[in-house]
Structure 1
Amino acid sequence: MKFVFGRAQGHRLGLRAGATVLALLVLAVPAAGQAAADPVREPGTVVADKALPVAAEIGGAATGSRQLTYWTEGPTGAPALSTGAVYLPKGTAPAGGWPVVSWAHGTNGVGDDCAPSHGFDVTSLTRDYVSAWLTQGYAVVASDFVGLGTEGVHAYLHGRSEGRAVIDMVRAARKVTPELSPRWVAVGHSQGGHAAMFAAHEATRYAPELDYRGAVATGTPANLELLFPLGGPGFPNLGLNGLTAFAGYVIAGLQVARPDLPIDEYLTPRGRELVETAKSMCFLPLHKYAAPIGVGELFSRPLGDERIRSALRDYLAVPTTGYDRPVFIGQGLRDQTVPFPLSTKLAADMQLAGQPVTYRSYDAFHGSSVFEALPDTTAFVRSLFGTA
């Protein structure tokens, strides 16, 4: 494993919670095992193929863009539909087809209006980043994840279903796009970094017909299953950007994935109202709406009992073993949304378990870290495809 820290290694990072978070994380326990799904619909089967909405286009670097609706696995393990976009580079595909980057997006929200391939929040950041891969000769496929643009509420940060949506997006795209190679990598940032880690963990076992090469995850919200059980009345403000909004999304997703869990019993009236609002409000307006509300105001009782702990492990915990292809984890040292101790501990646990992980840190904030890492991730992905 390679640990390389950026120029701000010895600087004050302005993360008031950093030391506290790191101290809490040393109490980590192994993630619980996950049961295999038994879908009745073939994962990756395309049920709709149509032109991509203009608002979801990413600009001049792409051609042949389209929106697919396809079968994958939902958060309860049942078959579910997801939508996603396919972007092709300009020019003629090489022998064997375009190598594929399966891009996993960051936090948009959990309601249908927040789906990227339907045109929500395809920002200049997204356009520039996806275009950077297209101009290098990679096709980019981009799942919305189950519940974003399809039936139900999206189970935000439900690792298993998000990871499988990333994998099945490659399957679906190849069924209708003959120019695509079976060779592919998973690339994700923020929420998408979490999804990319889950895709990486099971890609070769779940989709052995594809030629999975490795994964890139930046700004990855790992080890949250260790933090959420500390929540309860009076939980302090940790100074993390958007924490209350993120908590609302996770609780809404937990309601979807674990309908047997009486999570409402742990919420105050204000907490229940915020969670219901989160189900339809996309991230930027929810962030503004939730800014005056402390996380401690959401809960009427602590989340530390074993029933909730177990549910959160199953829902959130990024595996630290079982990777059979290289993984690159990148992190901004100035990140106040996903503080660096979270991903640093993930990488350290993987290294201790003998996993093929490379960790790099950057003098960057959450959003900028994905671009600061791009020279390194570009070289890393080229090495995976043997074109370095």
Structure 2
Amino acid sequence: MKQNIKNIALTVLCGSLLLSGCGSDDNDTVIIETGPVKTFNVDGDVAKVVNKHDVFTYPMMSVTGKMVTATTLVFTPKGNAPQGGWPIVVWAHGTTGAADKCAPSRLALASPEKQLIMGLVQKGYAVIAPDYEGLGNDNVPHPYLHLTSAANSILSAIHEARKFYGDELGREWSVIGWSQGGHAALAAAEYQKALLGYKFKGTVAIAPASYLAETLNYGMGVANQYAGSVQTLPVAKQIAGTLYGYAAIVSSGIKAANPTFNYNQAFLADKVDIAKNAELECSPQVAEKFRDDIDLFLSSSSNGGFSAYQALQPKFLLDADVRAYLSENLPAQNKITNKVYVYQGTGDTTVPAQITVDYLLPDLIAAVEKPDHLIFRAKPDATHQTIMTDYTSELVDTVDSLMKE
């Protein structure tokens, strides 16, 4: 899906100006009437280093062509903004879930995001952290891992925030994202030219989600290896529950973009109700429901063991809607003109290093304009969590170096 940059630019423009000529009318508008800014509660550590800590509400165009309400967190440093405004770093969050209560603006700021945002603010950057389309808006579903929705969520947040905050925010920006946010950061890099009048500096993608079908197959293979002994069976269930949970959230994303999609196109009939929890619960709870179901399955002595458990339709990857969504929303489909740093832990079972190296990196090599614009940093034995927690300072420094080039 090589979408024209002009189309994305029109989406940002429509979202910011509420133009009636952008294909939206009163029947297509899903706007929540709220004030544009509310204070986002932070703890004492954060309060010491930030000035503004806001939840900012604004309009944007959805993937279905409707005007919807969107939300973003905005953090600014202490003191007076420099001439030209605080340069902007976008923080693209990892998977929290598809339910509105999972929007970061509705949750407490916690590690490792807390340390990252504090580090960036202390370096002199305003941090804009969008919830993404549909999160934080009770009337709109979240199109999880939808490439242009993710890009538009980031570009619209920047454009609308600067319109509201004025010269306090600058026009130079970069983006850093983790997992789902790594996917979103790469999407923003592809479509950044749609944000007219700004200077894009580059991207840091941490364990970026990509090639979901291959990730699922690889991850389940790893889970089956761990299932071979009683001692490691809990690890197998942990991995499997996470992967099935992500498959459920992806299904909710397909439905958000294509309301005719049904969960039974991906999941077995007796697992559909579990998968539908993706619309109601956050990602840890969705994963836990699948782990509970695995435990129930294993409690039967005649079930054939862990490897016999099935939640997905045997040929779900051949379903036309699933296949189209997965292929159309792969990152690195358009030319990327600025530097891209990719951080990947070799011990990651959620976004396996093999998927990033074998599938995503070749696409990025083809997408970047210059060979030295792609910098891959593998971290030995780092997991999906420790790639963030153990390398926060390095990640902040990498963003800082991008912004200063």
Structural mapping, 1:122-141, within 5 Å: 122-141=109-128
Residue 402 of structure 2 is aligned with which of 380, 384, 388? Answer: 384
* C-alpha displacement of 1:207: 0.8
* C-alpha displacement of 1:227: 4.8
> CA 1:257–1:350 in structure 2 vs 1: closer, same or farther (change >3 Å)?
same
Matched, 1:325 2:314: no
Matched, 1:365 2:383: yes
Once the two structures are aligned, what percentage of the paired residues are identical? 26
Match of 1:249, SS? helix
> Gaps (5+ residues) in structure 1?
1-31
**Partner in structure 2 of residue 253 of structure 1:** 253
Structural mapping, 1:109-258, within 5 Å: 109-118=97-106, 120-150=107-137, 151-177=139-165, 178-204=167-193, 206-227=194-215, 237=223, 239=236, 240=239, 242-258=242-258
Task: State the AA in 2 paired with 1:164.
Answer: N
**Partner in structure 2 of residue 34 of structure 1:** 3
Residue 76 of structure 2 is aligned with which of 84, 88, 106? Answer: 88
Distance 1:353 1:159 in 2: 15
Distance 1:192 1:34 in 2: 20
Using the TM superposition, name which of 254-263 and 170-179 deviates more.
254-263
> CA 1:39–1:348 in structure 2 vs 1: closer, same or farther (change >3 Å)?
closer
Task: State the AA in 2 paired with 1:359.
Answer: F
Distance 2:286 2:261 in 1: 25
Distance 2:261 2:43 in 1: 36
Using the TM superposition, name which of 60-69 and 237-246 deviates more.
237-246
Distance 2:118 2:17 in 1: 27
Using the TM superposition, name which of 45-54 and 57-66 deviates more.
45-54
* C-alpha displacement of 1:213: 1.2
> CA 1:236–1:385 in structure 2 vs 1: closer, same or farther (change >3 Å)?
closer
Indicate if the aligned counterparts of 1:88 and 1:134 stay in contact, CA closer than 8 A: yes
Task: State the AA in 2 paired with 1:203.
Answer: Q
**Partner in structure 2 of residue 20 of structure 1:** none
> CA 1:288–1:262 in structure 2 vs 1: closer, same or farther (change >3 Å)?
closer
* C-alpha displacement of 1:311: 2.8
* C-alpha displacement of 1:287: 2.4
Task: State the AA in 1 paired with 2:364.
Answer: M
Distance 1:243 1:67 in 2: 31
Task: State the AA in 1 paired with 2:279.
Answer: K
* C-alpha displacement of 1:270: 2.9
Using the TM superposition, name which of 293-302 and 144-153 deviates more.
293-302
Distance 1:40 1:377 in 2: 29
Distance 1:40 1:188 in 2: 20
> Gaps (5+ residues) in structure 2?
19-33, 225-235, 295-306
Q: Which structure dedicates a bigger proportion of its chain to helix? A: 2
- Give CA-to-partner distance per residue, 1:214-256, whole Å, 9 cap, x none: 111101111215456x69xx99945436111111101111111
Matched, 1:309 2:323: yes
TM-score of the superposed pair, with normalisation by structure 1: 0.81
- Give CA-to-partner distance per residue, 1:254-298, whole Å, 9 cap, x none: 111122445534432333202221101012222222224469633
> CA 1:369–1:67 in structure 2 vs 1: closer, same or farther (change >3 Å)?
same
Indicate if the aligned counterparts of 1:129 and 1:371 stay in contact, CA closer than 8 A: no
> How many pairs does the alignment contain?
350
Match of 1:188, SS? strand
Distance 1:131 1:40 in 2: 28
Match of 1:304, SS? helix
Task: State the AA in 2 paired with 1:358.
Answer: I
**Partner in structure 2 of residue 279 of structure 1:** 279
Greater RCO structure (CA 8 Å; 6+ sep): 1
> CA 1:116–1:40 in structure 2 vs 1: closer, same or farther (change >3 Å)?
closer
Using the TM superposition, name which of 57-66 and 186-195 deviates more.
57-66
Distance 2:317 2:364 in 1: 26
- Give CA-to-partner distance per residue, 1:123-159, whole Å, 9 cap, x none: 1322111101111111101100111111222122112
Match of 2:362, SS? helix
Larger radius of gyration: 2
